[in-house]
């Protein structure tokens, strides 16, 4: 009985949820079948999953008949430039995509003068000012401007080839490198 009273006191001391999604079909990403539950969000994070019908909330959504799921991962995205144009990426968010992996083939970095010159029309089309040459600089720019999704990138094999030997269609040639 003492534990139940302590639990009730603890629960009533918590601030209200920012959002409770009621009556959803929760798919939790574990591979288990969906189950009926409410999801409580506090400070941008899932704070509770279960029956939350009596829980105080600033806002609530009735998701009856709808699926509530964690964000999806787009493993072959191509938003590396458009995220600089519109950091919110509504076309991804509306599909439930919260993480994108990009850089298959070509990638946003590394860059050199030849690649920048060859691709300048694309950057001009999007109105993107090049302020990076490395992934470190690119991701620093994204952190500074903010992002609506999580973004990761491969170093694309095509990008490495373009930076090292250019856009010529031919076999790589042996070069002597000096430090």
Mean pLDDT of 80-101: 95
Band (pLDDT 50/70/90 cuts) for residue 30 is: confident
CA distances, 26 to each of 50, 66, 69, 155 (Å): 10, 9, 6, 35
DSSP 17-83: BSEEEEEEEE--SSSPPPEEEEEEEETTEEEEEE--TTS-BS-EEE-TTSEE-PPEEETT---TTHH
42 pLDDT higher than 50:
yes
Q: What is the mean pLDDT of the chain?
A: 90
pLDDT digit string (tens) for 111-146?
A: 999 999 999 999 999 999 999 999 999 999 999 999
Phi, psi of 167, deg, nearest 5: -100, 5
Q: Output the pLDDT for position 28.
A: 86
Whether residue 33 has pLDDT greater than 70: yes
Average pLDDT over residues 85-90: 96
């Amino acid at each position: 009985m003492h534990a139940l009273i302590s639990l009730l006191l603890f629960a009533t001391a918590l601030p209200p949820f920012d959002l409770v999604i009621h009556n959803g079909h929760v798919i939790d990403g574990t591979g288990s079948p969906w189950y009926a539950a409410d999801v409580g969000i506090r400070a941008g994070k899932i704070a509770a999953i279960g029956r939350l019908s009596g829980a105080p909330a600033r806002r609530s959504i009735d998701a009856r008949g709808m699926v509530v799921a964690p964000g999806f991962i787009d493993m072959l995205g191509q938003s590396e430039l458009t995220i600089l144009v519109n950091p919110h990426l509504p076309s991804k968010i509306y599909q439930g995509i919260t993480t994108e992996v990009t850089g298959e083939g070509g990638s946003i970095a590394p860059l050199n003068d030849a690649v920048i010159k060859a691709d300048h029309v694309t950057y001009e089309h999007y109105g993107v000012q090049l302020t990076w040459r490395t992934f470190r600089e690119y991701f620093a720019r994204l952190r500074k401007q903010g992002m609506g999704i999580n973004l990761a990138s491969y170093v694309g094999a095509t990008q490495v080839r373009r930076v090292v030997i250019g856009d010529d269609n031919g076999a790589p040639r042996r070069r002597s490198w000096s430090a």
